[in-house]
Structure 1
Amino acid sequence: MANVYDIANELERAIRVLPEYQAAVTAKSAVEADSEAKELWEQFLQAQKKFQTMMQSGQAPSQEEQEELTVLGQKIEENPVLKAYLEQQQRLSVYIADIEKIVYAPLRDLQ
């Protein structure tokens, strides 16, 4: 029987050579090279992290905080570099979701 860790490592390497993964890497490099896109992305990640932390601790974000995240999301949609990056991430996430279903099937059987 094959070692499950070896199989997992092989899967990781296979994901890295997918055209969708490579496109996401290229799109991320474009974000890193564009100072406006990079700054906007960092602001979004910080706001998102704050929002998630509040939700996990049982706190409701204020209307102002929710609006801030919405405005940042809109700015990201308007930025072609970030929009392309998110589109590439979405394409890759289809594979990841399918793989998750397969990997977690044995655990679902135990419920």
Structure 2
Amino acid sequence: MINIYNDINALEATFRKIPEFEALKAAVEVVKNDEEALNVFKNFRKIQIDLQKKQLAGEDILEDELVYAQKAAQLAQQNEKISTMLESEMKLSKVIEEVNRILIKPIQGLYEGIQ
């Protein structure tokens, strides 16, 4: 019997060794070790999560909340350490997207020819 979870766990171990993951790991440590950058990032993430919760709940997002979120995002992007971390995350996300495309190929193949 095939156990896909063994393969997935092996892939996860490999994933932790790719340069994109290593770069993100290092960038996260740099942010964690800088109190100012860490606080700016925590605030930015909290605002993002709060706005996402409101959206999911169907609540309106107020103009002042959007302005505050934009200012927090600008502040985070202006911090070189946070900016480097977010760029590293985007590069890793591209790898994850590619892996996902590969994983769904068999499903897409099943539907080919159905019109």
| Structures share fold, TM-score greater than 0.5 | yes
Aligned to 2:29: 29
Structure 1 unmatched ranges of 5 or more: none
Residue-by-residue CA offset, 1:19-53 (whole Å, 9 max, x unaligned) = 11001000000000001110011101110110000
> By how many angstroms is 1:55 displaced?
0.4
For the pair shown, which has the larger CA radius of gyration, 1 or 2? Answer: 2
- Equivalences, count: 111
The 5 Å alignment of 1:32-47 reads 32-47=32-47
Within 5 Å, which residues of 2 pair with 1:46-61?
46-61=46-61
**C-alpha displacement at 1:14, in angstroms?**
1.0
Structure 2 residues without counterparts, runs of 5 or longer = none
TM-score by length of 1: 0.92
Per-residue CA deviations over 1:51-96 (Å, capped at 9, x if unaligned) read 0000001112101111111111111111000000011111111100
Using structure 2 for the length normalisation, give the TM-score: 0.89
- Which residues in structure 2 correspond to 1:69-84 (within 5 Å)? 69-84=69-84
Mapped partners of 2:81, 2:35: distance in 1: 11
